[in-house]
Amino acid sequence: MKKLIVFYLFLFLVLVCNGQSQRIIAKNAEVEIAGTGFIFTEGPAVAPNGNVYFTDQPNDRIHIWDEKEGISLYLEGTGRSNGMYFNAKGQLVTCADEKNQLAYFDENKNLIPIHEGFGGKHLNAPNDLWIAPKGSVYFSDPYYHRKWWDEGHTEIQDVRGVYYLNTIGEIKRVIDDYETPNGLIGTPDGKILYVADIQAKKTWKYDIHTDGSLANKTFFAPNGSDGMTIDNKGNVYLTSGKVWVYNPKGELIQEIEVPERPSNVCFGGKKRDILFITARKGVYTLKMKVKGVD
């Protein structure tokens, strides 16, 4: 009997410890609204100082969230920026789908094109991007028709792909078998890429080769995602109705309810321990135990 009690006590402690190890949200923390009154927020990207830049694409604006000062306007007239990411130089790189470009903002907030087009045609409209450790870029290119496009727009409507752009400007398509590719994120060591097929409601995992090509396509999660991020434990955050968090094994460890349907996520704040969530008309924050790596 005594041995049985000891066994069950041991089992209880194991379960408790496992639960604690998977607890990613700070104690007593709740989702808080950081700002509202937008039309559709997207593209959160954390700057080197921890501030988060995010887009209100229908209004063609980029705003900045500061954990102490709140939200301020960064720029109006952004090339219809969507997904964004800071590069190693501290430049804000954007998917600017007014002219279907990858571009960045210089120190004077001018939009400088990096790349446009593939195979003699426009890209459909770059949507989300991730910058690998050595500076190359992976970006998704679904097709969502935009009212601001010029007549005669020759998008690649037959392929909704994912592309790889290396540091000398060479581009190649690395995924061509998705219904609608959207969110993507890589690991900080540059070895693994996660990509969501939002229409198929699936997320896949790939090994990244040194030439930028992808291999070993592996099913990762039964959710698609508009935008996504990753934390310092390797957990992957998907946005599809709510925020879904999967550990590196593809096991669901957390569901985060948000007042509005989330569109994208990143980690911000000086310590990178605040989950910043864009969600339609509002943006939200949640204090975390884990930290971001982006």
Q: Is residue 271 part of a domain?
A: yes
Q: Is residue 225 part of a domain?
A: yes
Give Cβ neighbours of residue 189 (< 8 Å, ≥ 6 apart).
Answer: 133
Q: Is residue 293 part of a domain?
A: no
Q: Is residue 294 part of a domain?
A: no
Q: Is residue 81 part of a domain?
A: yes
pTM over 0.85: yes
The total domain count for the chain is: 1
From CA 94, how far away is CA 85, in angstroms rounded? Answer: 7
Residue 140 has pLDDT above 70, yes or no: yes
What pLDDT shows up at residue 152? 66
Average pLDDT, the chain: 90
Give Cβ neighbours of residue 243 (< 8 Å, ≥ 6 apart).
Answer: 237, 254, 255, 256, 258, 262, 265, 275, 277
For the chain, give the longest Cα–Cα distance.
81
Q: Is residue 43 part of a domain?
A: yes
Other Cβ atoms less than 10 A from the Cβ of 193: the count is 23
- DSSP assignment of 171-218: EEEEE---SSEEEEEE-TTS-EEEEEETTTTEEEEEEEPTTS-EEEEE
What is the total residue count of the chain? 294
From CA 157, how far away is CA 155, in angstroms rounded? Answer: 6
Q: Is residue 69 part of a domain?
A: yes
Return the CATH number at 268.
Answer: 2.120.10.30
From CA 267, how far away is CA 189, in angstroms rounded? Answer: 18
**Could you tell me which of 161, 145, 235 has the C-alpha nearest to residue 192?**
235
Render pLDDT for 38-81 as a digit per residue (tens, 0 to 9): 999 999 999 999 999 999 999 999 999 999 999 999 999 999 99
Render pLDDT for 153-180 as a digit per residue (tens, 0 to 9): 667 767 899 999 999 999 999 999 999 9
Residue 225's domain spans which residues? 2-287
Q: Is residue 292 part of a domain?
A: no
From CA 55, how far away is CA 70, in angstroms rounded? Answer: 15
